[in-house]
């Protein structure tokens, strides 16, 4: 009995590994005699899904390396850490722990088997071509094009029409893989660079899954870390749903206070965590029928402080068949750990490498000596290459106000955004920046994530970012959708200890980094960032 259990688990591991493209070609020995029963059972189950091809069978076919060698190989190969991580995901996953039982002795048709193998091989090559890394058991084939949405998944006309009208021609890598995963009702955590189309990757399957508007209460929830981002996601969502009468609602202050969702039918609800939690507490919204939950910028949402709120929302979504998904450009290990506790049978989709800056951004470092030097440097930078609209990030609200005051005298249209402003002022700041009325927007990290300011060509980190992920997200406001972007990061004496972290990111995303930088000692981000001198040059009274 015990032996049988062990066999099963082993089969399961192999399967997980075989799903990763790197494993398909590195080869794993699979003892068909021992696990034959398992395979047969899997194959039978999978034949119900026309598009899901069992990977177990594949394993036997590609078999040049000895069984023990495969473990060693795993340690050596570059892509491996991901695979090993991915494997761990399923070690904890309950359904993956439940391997098929012995006993089914049915024989598989050799022809079918061959075809399945070919499909798997095609998928692996295709993923490799688009730099998509997956782990998880039985990952659905990636999309070749958007037309497959209708040929494979019977997507309705309105959605295809909207895709064309909005200018989506070719799916991006994250869309190619995450959309089929979600359409197969699989939970998913996805990591892809900034500006690579993550929003569409979860909105599109969401609309397809919901099919039609209904009066069954809230059926889909999207959570975002800031109001600006939720309102942006709301707009994208409405654009994609054009032609269908879905009731899509943005959780505004008003709605969270007085809105009674049992009275307004609502299919899709987009909110920040606290507002939604407030509505739940006041029993204004019932999430027990939610079929689809998206945590956008999930690593931010999983940060301490926000996590507690998320947790209560996740619990309120009590529908057992709910499909949850996590999206972000950065996916630290602690988020994956928490995600594992949360999700079952999830597929992990990574485009490029985890926690990487977008490769379309030209990144520069500028030494400014002291705080005062920064003000000179930013003016100089404007004089040298005036490339508006420019987004300037500072460390705190106070500093945003100060810098705003300084630059306001310079005859440039400058504005600031931070959380001390009223909702209206924040909205106006974003709208004016988008409309080109504001040339330079000074911001705290409130708009560092997810915001899509299409025209932004240049991001200036006036204050050094607080973390690698803050850097990645900030500079990711430029260079979106494959366009070129520029990022300039100022650093003063005080920032030098943390410079190496940024240098590494720059080098990893293909930017030239002076060699002395790479020789700096490695140092972890400090909790206590240096206290910065005031920006203001005006004499103090």
Size of the site for DNA (CB under 7 A): 30
Q: DSSP assignment, residue 533? A: P
Is the bond preceding 277 in cis, omega lying within 30 degrees of 0?
Answer: no
Report the C-alpha gap between 441 and 439 in whole angstroms: 7
How does strand 132-135 pair with strand 248-250?
Answer: unpaired
- Does the protein bind DNA through residue 256 (CB under 7 A)? yes
Residue 113 interacting with DNA (CB under 7 A): no
Name the DSSP class of 261: T
Of 225-233, 363-371, 452-460, 509-517, which part binds DNA (CB under 7 A)?
225-233
Structure tokens at 408: 């306001």
Binding segment (CB under 7 A) for DNA, from list 3-11, 73-81, 109-117, 393-401: 393-401
Q: How far apart are CA 171 and CA 296, in angstroms?
A: 19
Decide: is 333 part of the binding site for DNA (CB under 7 A): no
Q: Is 398 in the site for DNA (CB under 7 A)?
A: yes
Segment near DNA (CB under 7 A), from 132-140, 182-190, 274-282, 503-511?
274-282
Cα–Cα distance list, 510 to 83, 182, 193, 357, 513 (Å): 24, 32, 14, 9, 9
**Minimum Å distance from CB 303 to DNA?**
6
Q: How far is the CB of 41 from DNA (least distance, A)?
A: 47
Task: Say if residues 417 and 426 touch (Cβ distance below 8 Å).
Answer: yes
Tokens 């930017």 found at? 511
- 8 Å CB contact between 122 and 53: no
Which of 7, 319, 387, 467 is the binder for DNA (CB under 7 A)?
Answer: 467
- Which of 395, 461, 469, 509 lies at the binding interface for DNA (CB under 7 A)? 395
> Does 278 participate in binding DNA (rule CB under 7 A)?
yes
Stretch 69-88 residues interacting with DNA (CB under 7 A)? none
- Hey, which residues between 360 and 389 contact DNA (CB under 7 A)? none
Contact 253, 302 (CB under 8 A): no
273 binds DNA (CB under 7 A): yes
CB of 402 to DNA, least distance (A): 11
Binding segment for DNA among 79-87, 311-319, 371-379, 417-425 (CB under 7 A)? 417-425
For residue 351, list its beta bridge partners.
132
Per CB under 7 A, 420 contacts DNA: yes
Residue span 440-459 as binding mask against DNA, x where in contact by CB under 7 A, dash where not: ----xxx-------------
Q: Does 272 contact DNA by CB under 7 A?
A: yes
Residue 257 binds DNA, judged by CB under 7 A: yes
Distance, in Å, from the CA atom of 373 to the CA atom of 379, rounded to the nearest integer, reads: 10
**Residue 397 near DNA by CB under 7 A:** yes
CA trace torsion 98, 175, 314, 95 (10° rounding): 0
The answer to whether 330 contacts DNA (rule: CB under 7 A) is: no
C-beta of 2 vs 305, nearer to DNA = 305
Burial of 187 (0-12, 13-18, 19+ CB in 10 A): buried
Pairing of strands 347-351, 132-135: antiparallel
Token pair belonging to 425:
């002022």
Instruction: Tell me the sheet residues that pair with 326.
Output: 189, 295
Would you say 382 and 413 are in contact if contact means Cβ atoms under 8 Å apart?
no
Nearer to DNA, 153 or 307 (CB): 307
Which are the contacts of 156, defined by CB distance < 8 A and separation ≥ 6? 208, 244
Of these, 419, 454, 533, 537, which contacts DNA (CB under 7 A)? 419
Residue 220 · residue 196 · CB < 8 Å: no
Burial class (CB in 10 A: 0-12, 13-18, 19+), 387: middle
Under the binding rule (CB under 7 A), the answer on residue 418 touching DNA is yes
Q: What minimum distance in Å lies between the beta carbon of 491 and DNA?
A: 16
The least CB distance from residue 398 to DNA, in Å, is 6
Beta carbon of residue 484, minimum distance to DNA (angstroms, whole number): 28
Min dist CB 418 to DNA, Å, is: 4
Pick between residue 277 and residue 354 the one whose CB is nearest to DNA: 277
Site residues for DNA, 518-537, by CB under 7 A, read 527-529
Query: Peptide bond preceding 19: is omega within 30 degrees of 0, i.e. cis?
Result: no
Least spacing, CB of residue 271 vs DNA, in Å:
7
Structural element, H or E, at residue 117:
helix 110-129
Q: Is residue 247 a contact residue for DNA (CB under 7 A)?
A: no
Instruction: Figure out which of the listed residues 305, 320, 514, 539 binds DNA, where binding follows CB under 7 A.
Output: 305
Return residues touching DNA (CB under 7 A): 225-228, 253, 256-257, 272-275, 278, 303, 305-306, 395-398, 418-420, 444-446, 466-467, 527-529
């Amino acid at each position: 009995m015990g032996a049988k259990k062990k066999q099963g688990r082993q089969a399961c591991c192999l399967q997980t590994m075989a799903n990763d493209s790197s494993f398909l070609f590195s080869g794993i020995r699979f003892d068909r005699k021992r696990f034959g029963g398992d395979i047969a059972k899997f194959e039978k189950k999978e034949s119900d899904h026309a598009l899901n091809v069992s990977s177990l069978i594949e394993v036997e076919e590609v078999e040049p390396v000895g069984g023990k060698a495969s473990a060693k190989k795993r340690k050596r190969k570059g892509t491996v850490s991901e695979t090993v991580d991915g494997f761990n995901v399923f070690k904890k996953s309950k359904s993956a722990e439940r391997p098929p039982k012995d006993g089914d002795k049915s024989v598989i048709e050799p022809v079918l088997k061959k075809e399945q193998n070919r499909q798997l091989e095609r998928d692996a090559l295709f993923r490799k071509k688009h730099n998509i890394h997956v782990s998880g058991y039985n990952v659905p084939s990636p999309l070749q094009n958007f037309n497959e949405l209708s040929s494979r998944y019977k997507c309705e006309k309105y959605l295809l029409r909207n895709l064309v009208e909005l200018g989506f021609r070719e799916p991006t890598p994250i869309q190619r893989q995450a959309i089929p995963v979600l359409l197969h009702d699989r939970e998913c955590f996805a990591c892809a660079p900034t500006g690579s189309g993550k929003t569409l990757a979860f909105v599109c399957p969401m609309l397809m899954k919901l099919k039609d508007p209904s009066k069954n209460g809230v059926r889909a929830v999207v959570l975002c870390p800031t109001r600006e981002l939720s309102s942006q996601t709301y707009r994208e969502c409405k654009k994609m749903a054009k032609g269908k009468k879905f009731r899509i609602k943005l959780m505004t202050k008003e709605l969270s206070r007085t809105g009674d969702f049992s009275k307004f039918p609502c299919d899709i609800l987009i909110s920040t965590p606290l507002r939604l939690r407030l509505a739940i507490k006041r029993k204004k919204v019932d999430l027990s029928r939610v079929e689809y939950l998206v945590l956008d910028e999930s690593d931010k949402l999983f940060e301490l402080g926000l996590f507690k709120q998320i947790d209560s929302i996740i619990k309120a979504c009590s529908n057992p068949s709910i499909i949850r998904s996590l999206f972000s450009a950065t996916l630290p290990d602690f988020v994956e750990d928490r995600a594992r506790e949360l999700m079952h049978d999830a597929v992990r989709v990574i485009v490029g490498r985890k926690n990487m800056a977008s490769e379309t951004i030209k990144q520069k470092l500028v030494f400014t000596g002291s705080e005062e030097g920064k003000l000179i440097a930013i003016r100089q930078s404007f004089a040298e290459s005036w490339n508006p609209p420019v987004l300037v990030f500072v460390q705190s609200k106070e500093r945003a106000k100060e810098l705003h005051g300084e630059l306001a005298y310079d005859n440039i249209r400058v504005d600031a955004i931070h959380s001390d402003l009223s909702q209206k002022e924040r909205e106006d700041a974003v709208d004016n920046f988008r409309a080109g009325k504001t040339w330079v927007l000074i911001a705290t990290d409130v708009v560092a994530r997810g915001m899509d300011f299409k025209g932004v060509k240049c991001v200036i980190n006036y204050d050094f970012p607080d973390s690698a992920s803050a850097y990645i997200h900030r500079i990711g406001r430029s260079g979106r959708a494959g366009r070129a972007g520029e990022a300039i990061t100022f650093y003063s004496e005080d920032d030098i200890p943390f410079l190496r972290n940024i240098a590494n990111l720059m080098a990893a995303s293909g930017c030239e980094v002076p060699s002395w930088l790479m020789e700096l000692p490695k140092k972890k981000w400090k909790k206590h960032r240096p206290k910065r001198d005031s920006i203001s040059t005006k004499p103090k009274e």
